[in-house]
Structure 1
């Protein structure tokens, strides 16, 4: 591990003062960044610890929530308002990792965790454009069972590993950022970037900028929602496919629907085509399957992960069917 400086900040203002736009990184729980440093994939010259920043979960006047970036994943998953109004978010957090990791990991760090692609982690023996721009992508012709089927490019087919981010994408969450130029608010669906020709640029975060909070608004679909994760083993594994879905049905028709996929793209994949196909329609299995097919029409799988297309289709129909059945 490369030697580095370490400083601790008590609030966002102090963190931004301690940081600079060079090789300084913010660190929360460190459950991903420390591993990357040990593997010599990341080598920041300095770390600013933001895990001691105020960690609050505040209700807004409209019933929404503002979640501090330093809130631990375990705290957020157990919060009574989250469990009641945003069950997909609580379930996604509980599906994401072991209890020990949830007790350490923060909301801000969860958003910024990097891919678990084995070629990305193999700094000594594999080519990876995400790790070293221009090096090539060994996953394209390699073992790609866990890789992307949507939004990938000839430069990268890695997937984003966060479960929490999938639920937040479905909930229309907003990411609050602070930096030298002030504050700004970015929709979570725009915060993470698809690879294109620059897979090393993973988010809209600017150098020296800090995630301070995430906000979500209530909705009938959010309150009646689920998260399902399909994986090779029942615990502590990353998703082959996951779905965060919420459904609001009135008078036999779908009034609102929220759907996001995980395990299939370099970012949480908001299924806008599927949602558009379902609004004002009857909540039937045939309609759910047709909507899934509309979303997955753009899929471009490898031979090794082509099974994900049918897996996503069936899982989406099953989860929405359960929500519709529970509502009736």
Structure 2
């Protein structure tokens, strides 16, 4: 690991100023991703800015009936929070399906959103990678890509975003509160991450120096059911091959509200807008769910070894929607 300087700022404004000092400055929250990447040589900051003393550690209700989650709230604390468990169970399910208990104790809300891909070529500094070294190529396209993207990828990058929490937050229309040199601003979670295009090293829409201070959740949808489901190679401590998060309300057998996000399939949490549009007002049955999800997945462009993800994601998402519909009608 390359030598680096370390500082603990006393407030958010100082943290922003320190981050503006150069491109080789990194924020440190829980460290569960950054430290690993530093050990691998993928990240080589000259300065690490520890955010541990920032006042971002609370979960509080908002005036409109939603929740505000501080950026430094640990995954473990968030999953155990009574308000979250009662009103947003899909967030708890997503959090508890990720990593291990030890890592959830350290991992933070903002850090989870900004974690970087686990693509083997990105993590191996002896290999080319457009995300790590722009213009060097994407060997995953012809190499090992079983776990990689079928939606939203490009010829320059087929990496998948690894976060479970980000998928669930996309499904509930969460927003991130940001602080930068020009002051605070808010950005929908669905707009936080970029698709790779021809610039896969630009992974998100944060401006220079900006840090996430909180995530805000809108009020729960009345009479809606929600859930997060994940398929992986083993029962725990594995990233999603495919995942789905949904919020569904049904009245008189028809869909009155639906939001749906997919994980493990794209370089960012994939909000299933096509499926949502087709389902709104539709009969809430398996045939309609299947047609809508297949419409969403029609944009998939699989490679040699990851085409299995399309039927896997379809079956997973349709089963999720069927279960939510059954729960919604029983309310």
Asked whether the 8 Å contact 2:224–2:250 carries over to 1, the reply is no
Report the Cα offset of residue 53 of structure 1: 1.6
Tell me, yes or no, if structure 1 residue 33 matches structure 2 residue 24: no
How far, CA to CA, are the matches of 2:319 and 2:219 in structure 1?
24
Tell me, yes or no, if structure 1 residue 74 matches structure 2 residue 70: no
SS at match of 1:220: coil
How far, CA to CA, are the matches of 2:158 and 2:145 in structure 1?
8
Asked whether the 8 Å contact 1:248–1:255 carries over to 2, the reply is yes
Q: How far does the alpha carbon of each residue in 1:127-171 deviate from its partner, in whole angstroms, 9 at most, with x for none? A: 110010000000000111100000000000000000000001111
For residues 180-259 of structure 1, the aligned pairs below 5 Å read 180-220=181-221, 224-259=225-260
* Number of aligned residues: 327
Asked whether the 8 Å contact 1:21–1:207 carries over to 2, the reply is no
Tell me, yes or no, if structure 1 residue 65 matches structure 2 residue 67: yes
For residues 257-296 of structure 1, the aligned pairs below 5 Å read 257-296=258-297
Q: How far does the alpha carbon of each residue in 1:10-34 deviate from its partner, in whole angstroms, 9 at most, with x for none? A: 4312322433241211110000000
How far, CA to CA, are the matches of 1:104 and 1:306 in structure 2?
35
1:12 counterpart residue number: 12
Report the Cα offset of residue 219 of structure 1: 2.8
Structure 1 stretches of 5 or more lacking a match? none
How far, CA to CA, are the matches of 1:175 and 1:28 in structure 2?
16
1:321 counterpart residue number: 322
Q: How far does the alpha carbon of each residue in 1:260-284 deviate from its partner, in whole angstroms, 9 at most, with x for none? A: 0000000000000001110111110
Counterparts in 2 of 1:161 and 1:222: CA distance versus 1, 3 Å: farther
* TM-score w.r.t. length of structure 2: 0.96
Structure 2 stretches of 5 or more lacking a match? none
Asked whether the 8 Å contact 1:28–1:50 carries over to 2, the reply is yes
Report the Cα offset of residue 242 of structure 1: 0.4
* TM-score w.r.t. length of structure 1: 0.97
Report the Cα offset of residue 239 of structure 1: 0.3
Asked whether the 8 Å contact 2:224–2:328 carries over to 1, the reply is no
For residues 134-213 of structure 1, the aligned pairs below 5 Å read 134-213=135-214
Report the Cα offset of residue 250 of structure 1: 1.3
How far, CA to CA, are the matches of 1:90 and 1:149 in structure 2?
27
Asked whether the 8 Å contact 1:27–1:49 carries over to 2, the reply is yes
SS at match of 1:96: coil
Q: How far does the alpha carbon of each residue in 1:97-138 deviate from its partner, in whole angstroms, 9 at most, with x for none? A: 1010000011111111000000111111x2110010000000
Which of the residues 90, 109, 112 maps onto 1:110? 112
Report the Cα offset of residue 324 of structure 1: 1.0
Asked whether the 8 Å contact 2:223–2:328 carries over to 1, the reply is no
Asked whether the 8 Å contact 2:27–2:48 carries over to 1, the reply is yes
How far, CA to CA, are the matches of 1:156 and 1:227 in structure 2?
27
Asked whether the 8 Å contact 1:128–1:138 carries over to 2, the reply is yes
Asked whether the 8 Å contact 1:85–1:222 carries over to 2, the reply is no
Asked whether the 8 Å contact 2:156–2:196 carries over to 1, the reply is yes
